[in-house]
Amino acid sequence: MLSARSLFQEILYHDESFRLFCSIAAGGESQGGWENGRIAALVPLGERAMAPKIARHGADEDKHGRIFLALMRKRGLTPVAVPPETDYTMLLERRGIGLAHDRLRRDEPLTERDIIVYLAHSRVTEQRAAEQMRLLLEHFADHPEIGRAVRMIADDEDKHLAYTHEELLRFAAAGHGPLIRRTLRACALAEIRVHRDVSLAVMAHMRRILGWSRARYALLAAGIHAVYAYELLAGRRRMVTLRMPARRDPLGGPAASAREFA
């Protein structure tokens, strides 16, 4: 039977597919760490109180990248180059979502609007990350090889998502509601398309590595397209609504250590 659990088990138990999966994940997390680090350094004067939280977000992302690399090292595997068509972060930037890397490389303070764009982009992408980690948590929380990593990353992603809700609601209360709504809608539409494209690309690579039949790949591709259609019509609402999180100030304090994975 084709299920999320059986699919991920197949990827997990084959060295080359696991290597590709972890390489893609590590690359995306490390890129997110760099982006948040630069944003923390460039926060405008009026929002400097956010800088430690943004830096904490970046430190968490860097930690996740190290965890995925450590999982590979435990099997004696080394990272592979991330295929461009599977590079979620790069593809989102090409669609104009979030803050451009060229902008972040310049030593010029960001504007308040830039911070809202960053938060809206994070709100949408952290929704996806939190949902994906909850799925892994459901099936692999007690797995002897990856369970600890899944639990730690899932908890962090929930905190990141709560943080974006909290900060965007603060900006909405200050009169930025229309900008936030427009930006969230644009981010969600772009993310849904990029997620579909990346999912299809990753499954194409897994098909080659794992020797899936044409029929099995067609079934997986049909499922990806069905999720895309649902999200385009109705599912994106979960990405654009805001509610005060139960976990208040979730990024207060230092990031948790990941030394046990080194």
Mean pLDDT of 161-166: 97
Query: Is residue 220 very low, low, confident or very high in pLDDT (cuts 50, 70, 90)?
Result: very high
Q: Is 249 left (phi over 0), alpha (psi -120 to 50) or beta?
A: left
Range of the domain at 211: 4-261
Tell me the average pLDDT across 159-180. Answer: 97
pLDDT at 257 over 80: no
3 state DSSP class of 100: coil
pLDDT over threshold 60, residue 37: yes
Residue 230: which H helix or E strand, with range?
Answer: helix 214-230
Q: Is 213 left (phi over 0), alpha (psi -120 to 50) or beta?
A: beta
Amino acid at 45: L
pLDDT, average across residues 80-107? 94
- Residues with Cβ within 8 Å of 217's Cβ and at least 6 positions away in sequence, in order, are 203, 204, 207
Question: What's the confidence (pLDDT) of residue 254?
Answer: 61
- Residue 253's pLDDT is what? 62
pTM of the shown model: 0.93
Alpha helices in 85-213 (DSSP H): 88-94, 101-105, 112-140, 147-171, 177-210
165 φ/ψ angles, rounded to the nearest 5 degrees: -60, -50
The answer to whether the CB of 217 falls within 8 A of the CB of 204 is yes
The fraction of the chain above a pLDDT of 70, given in percent, is 95
Across residues 71-80, what is the average pLDDT? 96
What tokens does 202 get?
């990753």
Q: How much is the pLDDT for 247?
A: 83
Does 172 have pLDDT greater than 50? Answer: yes
Reported as a pLDDT band with limits 50, 70 and 90, residue 261 is low
pLDDT, averaged across the chain: 94
What is d(CA 240, CA 177) in angstroms, rounded to the nearest whole number?
12
Residue 262 pLDDT: 42
Rounded Cα gap, residues 131 and 111, in angstroms: 30
Among the residue ranges 30-34, 37-41, 158-162, 257-261, the one predicted with the least confidence is: 257-261
Kindly state the average pLDDT of the residues 225-229.
97
**CA distances for 29 relative to 64, 66, 226, 250, angstroms:** 6, 9, 27, 19
* CA 155 – CA 251 distance, rounded (Å): 12
Q: What is the dihedral of CA 74, 76, 80, 85, to 10 degrees?
A: -50
* Angle at which helices 15-42 and 4-12 cross, to 10°: 100
| 77 neighbors 49 (Cβ within 8 angstroms) | no
Position 58 confidence tier, pLDDT thresholds 50, 70, 90: very high
CATH no. for residue 44?
1.20.1260
Of the candidates 24, 13, 26, 87, the one whose C-alpha atom is nearest the C-alpha of residue 261 is 26
Number of domains in the chain: 1
Place of tokens 């427009």: 182
Question: Could you tell me the pLDDT band of residue 252, with boundaries at 50, 70 and 90?
Answer: confident
